[in-house]
């Protein structure tokens, strides 16, 4: 399929919902690499605010989270000049394309989505149609930009598969319209677990805040959380299957400072757990410091932030419109 890029770079699209609070784990595992992808790929990143309302969220929270995530994406290195960075609801084509694609998505295939089933069980009082439609909106996000690669967590692979089915169905029914996207499960970064339960992922919406270090935590908060991090019995700073706490801390240290786990083990050969935890905490503080500072600078001027959003939305809308118009025409809509 043709690509709307001029340089023949492959196109990357990804989005994150403005729910919860991004963690050190999100940063070291994925976000830290996003800025650098622009050298090799033509990248679009979106704050998926339309997706955020499929679960119950307060207006104030949606508003603040959207601005916070947008600024944070810039702060972690996504340069809005080199990438197209935008808020999903600012580009109307997403909602429009979602409506079109709804008609090429079968009820049965949408009903099979694991995430829909899980979220329905978690909040049985709010199993709304938007939640059911979530993966179709996600397909619209992806297909509007003739996307080749979709970096996602492994929980989203099934949604990208559904997106491919929808694209194929549409392309077969009319003629080639959408590029066929591929999910790329992020494996570059470190896998970081909760500081209090090192067998569970460091979650961005965990109620138990002590287990998650957030990107925007103050240095004091970060140090406090590392001090309370669970370790293991025995006293050796060594990674091992039966030492999930220490292994997690070693992974965090290695990812934050750029050494290997083996080098870190060597460095802490003669350390006790308490001083090791302090050093990991300091490494986390240092790796997050420039991100937080950049973030704070961006949040000092709301109007400037809105201007960046506006310019990203304009670029995205131009690219999205092309595909949307094509789809309208193929289906048989009268266009003005
Ligand atoms: N559903 C994705 C998640 O929860 C976020 C998302 C929305 C997304 N639209 C997308 C990811 C399009 C990739 C492509 O992580």
pLDDT single digits (tens) 38-76: 999 999 999 999 999 999 999 999 999 999 999 999 999
- Judged against a pLDDT cut of 90, whether residue 332 lies above it is answered with yes
Q: Is the CB of 213 under 6 A from ligand 1?
A: no
User: What's the half-sphere exposure (Cβ side, CA atoms, 13 Å) at 301?
Assistant: 9
More confident residue, 110 or 8: 110
* 46, containing H or E segment: strand 42-47
* C-alpha 276, offset from chain centre: 30
Report the nearest-CA residue for atom 13 of ligand 1: 14
* 149-152 and 182-185 strand pairing: parallel
Collapsed DSSP state (helix, strand, coil) of residue 11: strand
> What is the C-alpha to C-alpha distance for residues 252 and 283, in angstroms, rounded to an integer?
8
Least confident of 3-7, 134-138, 248-252: 3-7
Would you call 201 a catalytic residue per the annotation?
A: yes
Collapsed DSSP state (helix, strand, coil) of residue 136: helix
The set of long-range contacts for 173-180, using a CB threshold of 8 Å and a minimum separation of 24, is: 173/104, 174/330, 174/331, 175/330, 176/1, 177/323, 177/326, 177/327, 177/330, 178/1, 178/143, 178/146, 178/323, 179/1, 179/2, 179/3, 179/11, 179/143, 179/146, 179/147, 179/148, 180/1
102's CB contacts (< 8 A; 6+ apart) are 133, 136
123's CB contacts (< 8 A; 6+ apart) are 55, 56
pLDDT at 248: 96
Q: Is the CB of 17 under 6 A from ligand 1?
A: yes
CA distances from 116 to 49, 124, 131, 162 (A): 18, 11, 7, 13
- Judged against a pLDDT cut of 70, whether residue 6 lies above it is answered with no
> What is the C-alpha to C-alpha distance for residues 15 and 244, in angstroms, rounded to an integer?
31
Residues 209-254 have pLDDT tens digits of: 799 999 999 999 999 999 999 999 889 999 999 999 999 999 999 9
Which stretches within 154-272 are classed as H helix?
157-173, 219-227, 244-257, 261-267
Are the C-beta atoms of 112 and 164 separated by less than 8 Å?
no
Q: Which tokens sit at 127?
A: 């199993």
Collapsed DSSP state (helix, strand, coil) of residue 7: coil
Q: Is the CB of 150 under 6 A from ligand 1?
A: yes
Q: Ligand 1: which of 51, 57, 69, 88 to mutate, most ligand atoms within 8 Å of CB? A: 51
């Amino acid at each position: 399929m043709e690509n709307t890029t001029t340089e023949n770079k492959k196109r990357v699209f990804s989005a994150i919902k403005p729910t919860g609070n991004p963690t050190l784990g999100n940063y070291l595992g994925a976000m830290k690499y996003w800025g650098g992808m622009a050298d090799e790929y033509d990248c679009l990143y979106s704050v998926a605010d339309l997706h955020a309302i499929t679960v119950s969220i307060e207006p104030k929270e949606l508003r603040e989270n959207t601005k916070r995530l947008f600024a944070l994406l810039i702060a972690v290195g996504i340069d809005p000049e080199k990438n197209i960075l935008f808020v999903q609801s600012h580009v109307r084509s997403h909602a429009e394309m979602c409506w079109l694609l709804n008609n090429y998505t079968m009820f049965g295939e949408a009903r099979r989505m694991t995430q829909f089933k899980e979220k329905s069980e978690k909040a049985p009082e709010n199993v709304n149609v938007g939640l059911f439609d979530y993966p179709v909106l996600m397909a619209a996000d992806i297909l509007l930009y003739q996307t080749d690669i979709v970096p996602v967590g492994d929980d989203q692979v099934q949604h990208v598969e559904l997106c491919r089915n929808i694209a194929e169905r549409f392309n077969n029914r009319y003629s080639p319209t959408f590029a066929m996207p591929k999910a790329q499960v992020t494996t570059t970064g470190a896998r970081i677990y909760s500081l209090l339960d090192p067998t569970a992922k460091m979650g961005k919406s965990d109620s138990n805040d002590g287990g998650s270090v957030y990107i925007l935590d103050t240095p004091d908060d970060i140090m406090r959380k590392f001090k309370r991090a669970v370790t293991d019995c025995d006293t050796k700073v060594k990674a091992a299957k039966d030492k999930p706490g220490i292994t997690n801390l070693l992974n965090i240290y290695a990812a934050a400072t750029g050494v290997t786990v083996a080098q870190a083990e060597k460095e802490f050969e003669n350390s006790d757990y308490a001083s090791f935890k302090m050093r990991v905490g300091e490494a986390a503080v240092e790796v997050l410091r420039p991100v937080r500072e950049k973030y704070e600078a961006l949040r000092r001027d709301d109007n400037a932030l809105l201007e960046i959003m506006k310019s990203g939305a304009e670029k995205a809308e131009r690219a999205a419109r092309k595909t949307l118009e094509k789809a309208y025409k193929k289906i048989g809509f009268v266009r003005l």
